[in-house]
Structure 1
């Protein structure tokens, strides 16, 4: 039985990795490790199909170390022992351990000394947040890297490579892939290259050649093979982003009917990932401090939608879209942060005042670190007038509260109360 296209097209060296340039690009951390042959154990976490296994196999291919793959949930301690014995014989083995968050204590205790000695270079792969799900003993012995969903340019590049590669890809087949079909294939799989390549192969192998011998892959064929409809059949390929943009702007503008219309278009396109991501952004970008509870309800609705999957996911999604549309809105917090970031980028960071600096080390007292710090809880209202911003920014104001919701109205009152205290209290 032939292996799937996604498996066959896995990168053989670090140069063949698709995307993830923040990790494997020139001068970046994993590239540096490979170039210097100074590998350390790591955990790669991110959505399925984004290249965790590919990076591991590419590292092994670039360093010529033995490469083994196990699953923490299904493989036994005995399987780990086999890898350890091989490492003793060959010197170093790169072990890709899938679902590393499922590693039990027995297997973990066996692995730890081998990680310490460097005989086994562990590359743990997980879709879960390792800071929450992975045991601290493993975390402390690994570097943690987040693997991002691939963008459509990366996926299109990988598809074109697969279409041309006669040895591992589909280059031996006379395939004609329409431009709109390529665009949909790169977007509909939401950054999952494995799904894109396997959908392409299914389309290529299951489509009968035309009279001239060409295997013509149209948008309709790709829609069927990835089981996701395109939003429209526009040639410019802007519909995907136009609908998502209109969806957010309708919620921001409090138009319930328009927001539900664009939600319906995204649901019909089975684009659950884009819906969920956009709603999370809206909850904090557009609603924000106007109604923090609505932002929290958005997180819960997204979690429910992801667990349920379509079509049932539409139910919590509809609830939260109506909720967000009719909620008070405020962008004051993130615009304040953006203003602070702009100052830092303009070189206005300044020195941290001495009384705020860390004083928990030998010699800090001689350097006058933390000496004059006033502990706010020792004062009335748990507040004391002391300088917190660096000298060059001490008069800057970033946060400008709004009054669009009761929560931020309360924050505004407290903010104004503190400003008034500042005017009438000498600085300590």
Structure 2
């Protein structure tokens, strides 16, 4: 969906986000208690594990949660005491998703996701396949896709960029196919990521840079690096002494890019866990050394 820029410039745009799990939980309980606009007349009792699954399985979509709850209550006969007792299997059926576990606190949902990432990070392909199978059985394609993307860039990263790219392609294929076929590209991605060399150097590098930014007092962008594409920039000295690297042999020439206070800072700490990352590390060191030599 796209909007004409002229219309967009005259409109007020609001971002609509999924409701939080706590928001969904509050709405479910209100619906069960409200006899006038909800389901209060049915004298229903929702088991704790069933409520947790209804909250998690609907991914922030209140309409889906309420529809699943209504279907569960209206399709379940009351017991001898006149109470409609909604259990986990009933909610699994109405929302068409099986629960990962029947653990009453809902922690199992996150435990399995955590175990999947830790198994891939630890290079245990069998454990990773087991945990992703549990997520597949629960129908959590969206969660699987998001988590595998995170794992690919966080835990494999620069050690094997080709594996990262193949994993992203496999995840896209899984999303396009849907279950049950989605399990096949997911398995390919999980096995390759688990057996791949690992490196979190890019992940830790960006966090180190963010830490500097958040501390503040890091200095201004050097004048040579500032935007010069506006009238009056030259008078301010913005971009005047910038040297165009492509005009020099090797498309490189030493010049200052970081603010004065951060000169010499090294955010990326390469691990060299693979030939690929070692090649990047060698190039990184070569350029840093030449840069520092050229600026002194």
Work out whether the TM-score is over 0.5: yes
CA distance in structure 1 between the aligned counterparts of 2:246 and 2:106, rounded to whole angstroms: 57
> Does residue 1:290 correspond to 2:188, yes or no?
no
Q: 1:357 — aligned with what? A: 226
Q: Is the 8 A contact 2:174 2:183 kept in 1?
A: yes
Q: 1:158 — aligned with what? A: 27
CA distance in structure 2 between the aligned counterparts of 1:137 and 1:295, rounded to whole angstroms: 39
Q: 2:66 — aligned with what? A: 197
Deviation at 1:261, TM superposition (A): 0.8
> Does residue 1:185 correspond to 2:54, yes or no?
yes
Q: 1:270 — aligned with what? A: 139
Q: 1:347 — aligned with what? A: 216
CA distance in structure 1 between the aligned counterparts of 2:151 and 2:232, rounded to whole angstroms: 48
Q: 1:309 — aligned with what? A: 178
Q: Deviations over 1:176-226 (max 9, x none)?
A: 111111101001122222211110110011111112221111111111111
Q: 1:375 — aligned with what? A: 244
- Residue in structure 2 matching 1:237, options 106, 118, 134: 106
CA distance in structure 1 between the aligned counterparts of 2:107 and 2:213, rounded to whole angstroms: 35
Give the superposed CA RMSD.
1.8
Deviation at 1:246, TM superposition (A): 0.5
- Residue in structure 2 matching 1:149, options 13, 18, 21: 18
Q: Deviations over 1:268-319 (max 9, x none)?
A: 2222221111111111111111111222222221121122211111111111
* 1:262–1:206 Cα change, 3 Å: same
CA distance in structure 1 between the aligned counterparts of 2:271 and 2:16, rounded to whole angstroms: 37
Q: 2:193 — aligned with what? A: 324
CA distance in structure 2 between the aligned counterparts of 1:350 and 1:393, rounded to whole angstroms: 8
CA distance in structure 1 between the aligned counterparts of 2:64 and 2:25, rounded to whole angstroms: 13
CA distance in structure 1 between the aligned counterparts of 2:273 and 2:15, rounded to whole angstroms: 36
Q: Is the 8 A contact 1:202 1:225 kept in 2?
A: yes
Q: 1:58 — aligned with what? A: none
Q: Is the 8 A contact 1:350 1:390 kept in 2?
A: yes
Secondary structure at 2:42 match in 1: coil
Greater strand share, structure number: 1
Correspondences of 1:28-177 after superposition (within 5 Å): 101=1, 139=8, 141-142=10-11, 145-177=14-46
* 1:229–1:164 Cα change, 3 Å: same
TM-score by length of 2: 0.93
Q: Is the 8 A contact 1:204 1:217 kept in 2?
A: yes
Deviation at 1:160, TM superposition (A): 1.6
Structure 2: tracts of 5 or more residues without a match: none
TM-score by length of 1: 0.66
> Does residue 1:385 correspond to 2:254, yes or no?
yes
Greater helix share, structure number: 2
- Residue in structure 1 matching 2:93, options 224, 246, 256: 224
Structure 1: tracts of 5 or more residues without a match: 1-100, 102-129
CA distance in structure 1 between the aligned counterparts of 2:251 and 2:167, rounded to whole angstroms: 33
Deviation at 1:325, TM superposition (A): 0.6
Secondary structure at 1:172 match in 2: helix
CA distance in structure 1 between the aligned counterparts of 2:217 and 2:271, rounded to whole angstroms: 26
Secondary structure at 2:45 match in 1: strand
